[in-house]
A and B are shown apart, each in its own frame.
Chain A
Amino acid sequence: MTDISTIEPRAEQARPGLQSFLAREPVLLILLALAAVCFFLAVSGIAGIYNAQQQALGARWYERGITDLKARNFTAAVNEFRAALRYSEDDYSYQFNLAEALVGLNRNGEAYAYLINLWDRQPEDGQVNLELARIAAAQGQSVQALRYYHNAIYAIWSGNQEIERHDARLELIEYLLRNNARPQAQSELIALAAGIGDDPTQQTMLGNLFLRAADYDHAFAAFARSLQSNSTNAQAVAGAGFAALKLGHFDAAQNYLRQAVAADPADTQSAVRLKTTQAVLQMDPFRPDLSDAQRSQIVLEAFDTAGRRLSSCPVSGAGTAVAAQAALEERWTKLHPDITANRLRSDPDLVERAMDVVFNIERETSTTCGEPSGADQALLLIAQLRATN
């Protein structure tokens, strides 16, 4: 049962008189305020000691983590950075290095959680963007990867900004080339080229990247620029030779490749390319300096080479490839009786028709049976050159 007297306490209770209030409350409040100030100062002192200890412990574990990270001892590094973060959970460096160690352990999900947190705090941080780009690239998230790579390229870096940005762009180019995104890679390479001076090493590297991006014009230009500063650079000579070969500048290619092989006899790739170039030069029936006899001889050999290639590249089953190859075989067989030295000498049109069959065979078989080699490769290169001209 409710006691009614308790419902109106204020009316019932005797309040302390004014004198007692004046005597006590203000004084007590002032004392309370003083006590609060003292307590605050005391806690500030304790907090100072506490924070100093926390920082010291954090720094100690961080240093151990850095040592282990450098030694690629990622598991220990992760534990040490985690310990460091215990004492300074918002420390940017601790979190970043922990993320790097986690990336080293291929624990990209965890690393991402830390990095995205850092990114929220400093979206302009180049290192964080680069790490995020790497994680996105590793996870196959190409849109995110490109976004973070571009962020990294235009971000703020703690060290030498130009070098860091250059390296970030290089990494992006590598990523694009790995993913066969050649047009994008070419764009990035052109941007990269704008920032590279005359340093022959850099120009050679640039030329090689252009080669991988199948931008042979820029590749040749880069190698040529490199050779202007250092004409004996074997890599640049070999690259220039290859670029010239791809551009159909066979004479120049032969020249550069000869220099490359002479400079570095162990460069078998250039030796093979030189052979191919020489083969092209020898097997091109459309060179203006050839006599009719020489041209007819080259056509005869090319026709036979194409025939052998066709017979060595059987295609079974059904489909357009089979039909196309069958048609080529029929054309070759039909034309074969006419391909004699005399007929070729007397009928320039026959040279054209014969070489047309040869080029078609080389193109077709290169798609069905893979890249050719030797004479077939030379014929294919001539075919490609003719097609572009």
Chain B
Amino acid sequence: MLPDRQSDLLIDEIEPARPSFFSRSGFKRSRGAVLESVFREDRLFLILSVFIGIFSGLSVVCFRFAINWARIYLLGSGAVLSPVRLVLAPTLTGLVIAVLVIHVFPLARGSGVNQTKAALYIYNGYIPLRTAVGKFITSALAIGSGQSLGPEDPSLQIGASLASAIGRTMNLSRDRMRLIAPVGAAAGLAAAFNAPISAVLFVIEEVIGRWTAGILGSVVLSAVSSVVVMRWFLGSESLFRIPPVQLQQPSELVAYGILGVLGGLASVAFASGIGTLRAKCRQLPGWTQYFQPAIAGLLIGCIARLGAPQIMGAGYEYMDRAMHGQFTWQMLALLAGLKIIATLLSFSSGTPGGMFAPTLFIGAMLGASIGGAEHIFLPHLTISPGTYALVGMGVLFAGFLRAPMTSVFMVLEVSGNYSIILPVLIANTFAYLISRTLQPIAIFDVLTRQDGLDLPSMEEQREEGILRVEDAMRPAPDVVDAEETFDRARQRFAAIPPPEELVVRLDPTGWCTLTRDAVETMINEGKGAMTLNSVLATQPIPFLHPDHPLETALRFTDRVPLVPVVNRANFRKLEGIISQRDVLVRYREFGEG
């Protein structure tokens, strides 16, 4: 495989070889060199990731405390809430939140995912610390007062904001600063959801959009350290008690397919509802923004007062109860519908808070409803709706948030049970495909565009075709072996139009190029009968393989006019050649196409 040699070439080109710390020369280096090695920015970044995780974990713990305190003082400490408080708490708190968001923390509005993406792509990783403070206060008030929002997305933004502040303090380079916000986001989300794998996947899938070893290590470190801190204070228990989950029989997969379809439709309704209502709310006169959260709170309070207090807040307690079959299937379906309405109101009104928990709530209720109905009408098929509730969460995650990989791993991570992988895959695939078809633009992209930003769509990036070297290279020309003479090389030049170069195959492996002028010079010096090998210093040039991404070619073509493209199985076989012009022409065609 080449690439030993080729990758060496690549690395040498990009970053000069450094003496190993453990080599003889490494030992002789000064203490300063050792410290420099330790504090190289990429290593420093890994250390900082742990700190980011710790700070984010601690912040999320405080955030959870704040939400619960807000809930106790605003709605009361009992399980049955006072009717007056049910209506007044979200309404009056909505007014306070509006004032805070408009006058004190204008960047705290919304969920936080897009703000983190904007930090990555637009603001070079800059998120003001004030945003974290604002998000903390306003989201805690909103969720605690019963607005139908969740704590995960705000936690994500709080983590990102803290990370950004730490990065600024450490005066990181622009590249690192860009990446530090997602590292903090993963930490915040992991701590909020007590699910590090899902958090890492979500950030990679929805915020960063690409897998690279460097960022992955940092994201994982921060997520793990934040979860460790969070569990230190809040325990390691999942957000809900997971019932025994299992697939009773293969025919049950049909029901999970139906769940996927209904989940996909619910996701589309939810997403298009938010897209429409949020846009309309933003079009209203500016002064109405003072009242939008309060009106949303009032309507949610009325829904709760009329018999569905379960829709208030994040609702994890009720997801738990749904998983354990403590509601009738009709009630579950009703709760799913009402939660969609309540979340539409809360989110569209600009109240700070996240959509993760409502999405999971709707999915759990929908899933448990289908499981419950099946239990009644087809009792031989299933035992408990718990599995359906769990799969339903993944379904809405896939359909609404459009994070298919995260949706699968989230269910597996939360349930700790891999036996439901088939139902999850089937249901999520249906939901994702339906949502993708009926709602071509993902909800995060819709919100971004409403905010007047043009952030890259992760979904589009995932589906974007990749240009490779083989798409731009020209067919292989005649090759001259290094054993041939300069006279022979001159004859070869006669067959190709100027100003092309000859491609020389070195022995035993390697390639170089030879210009017409160089050949003429050698012949004029009377060296025409000599072999190319004996005169030319054998300085191999980098070569590529046909499947390399086209952008890789750009790294060489500015310094090497003609880069050989070589077969992966036989390095002496030339597949084609590529120049900078070929690359640029291909990119232009791709852009026009």
Contact = CB atoms under 8 A, between A and B. Distances in A.
Nearest to A90: B237
A7 B32 contact: no
Question: Is the interface on chain A under 10, 10 to 19, 20 to 34, or 35 or more residues?
Answer: 35 or more
Contact of B15 (A10, A25, A43, A90): A10
Q: Tell me whether chain A's interface is mostly helix, strand or loop, or mixed.
A: helix
A117 interface: yes
A24 B171 contact: yes
Given A8-B14, A18-B32, A47-B61, A57 B77 contact: yes
Nearest to A64: B78
B254 interface: no
Contacts, number: 108
A143 interface: no
Interface string B123-142: 00000000000000000000
A312 interface: no
A50 B65 contact: yes
A9 interface: yes
B169 A43 contact: no
A182 B325 CA distance: 35
B44 interface: yes
A4 B554 contact: yes
Given A61-B78, A80-B79, A83-B77, 18 more contacts: A1-B587, A4-B554, A16-B171, A18-B36, A32-B51, A32-B166, A32-B169, A33-B51, A36-B54, A39-B54, A47-B61, A47-B233, A54-B68, A80-B78, A86-B77, A87-B77, A90-B237, A110-B324
B170 A18 contact: no
A103 to B, nearest CB: 14
19 contacts: A1-B587, A2-B551, A8-B14, A8-B555, A10-B15, A21-B39, A22-B32, A24-B171, A28-B170, A32-B166, A40-B54, A43-B233, A50-B69, A83-B80, A90-B235, A90-B237, A109-B325, A110-B321, A110-B326
A47 B65 CA distance: 8
A148 to B, nearest CB: 16
Nearest to A5: B558
B454 interface: no
Question: Is the interface on chain B under 10, 10 to 19, 20 to 34, or 35 or more residues?
Answer: 35 or more
Contacts of A43: 58, 61-62, 233
Contact of B79 (A2, A79, A113, A114): A79
A234 to B, nearest CB: 50
Interface in A85-116: 86-87, 89-90, 107, 109-110, 113-114
Interface string B65-93: 10011001000011110000000000000
A86 B317 contact: yes
B72 A22 contact: no
Nearest to A26: B39
Contact of A2 (B15, B78, B324, B587): B587
Nearest to B552: A7
B230 to A, nearest CB: 10
Contacts of A10: 14-15
Given A18-B32, A110-B325, A79 B317 contact: no
A11 interface: yes
A39 B77 contact: no
Interface in A18-49: 18, 21-22, 24-26, 28-29, 32-33, 36, 39-40, 43-44, 46-47
A363 interface: no
Contacts of A57: 72, 77
A26 B48 CA distance: 12
Interface in B454-502: none
B477 to A, nearest CB: 25
A273 interface: no
A57 B77 CA distance: 7
Interface string B37-60: 001010010011001001100100
Interface of B: 14-15, 32-33, 35-36, 39, 41, 44, 47-48, 51, 54-55, 58, 61-62, 65, 68-69, 72, 77-80, 166, 169-171, 173, 175, 229, 233, 235, 237, 241, 243, 317, 321, 324-326, 551, 554-555, 558, 584, 587
A10 B555 CA distance: 13
Contacts of B80: 79, 83
A40 B229 CA distance: 9
Contacts of A134: none
A121 B426 CA distance: 33
Contacts of B321: 110
Contacts of A24: 170-171
Contacts of A89: 237
Given A11-B15, A25-B170, A109 B79 contact: no
The list of the 3 closest CB pairs from A to B, nearest first, reads A113-B324, A82-B79, A83-B79
B307 to A, nearest CB: 15
B368 to A, nearest CB: 12
A15 interface: yes
A21 B36 contact: yes
A13 interface: yes
B313 to A, nearest CB: 11
A263 to B, nearest CB: 54
Contacts of A54: 68
Contacts of A28: 169-170
A26 B47 CA distance: 11
Contacts of A22: 32, 35, 39
A18 B35 CA distance: 8
A87 B77 CA distance: 9
A33 to B, nearest CB: 8
Nearest to A54: B68
B61 to A, nearest CB: 6
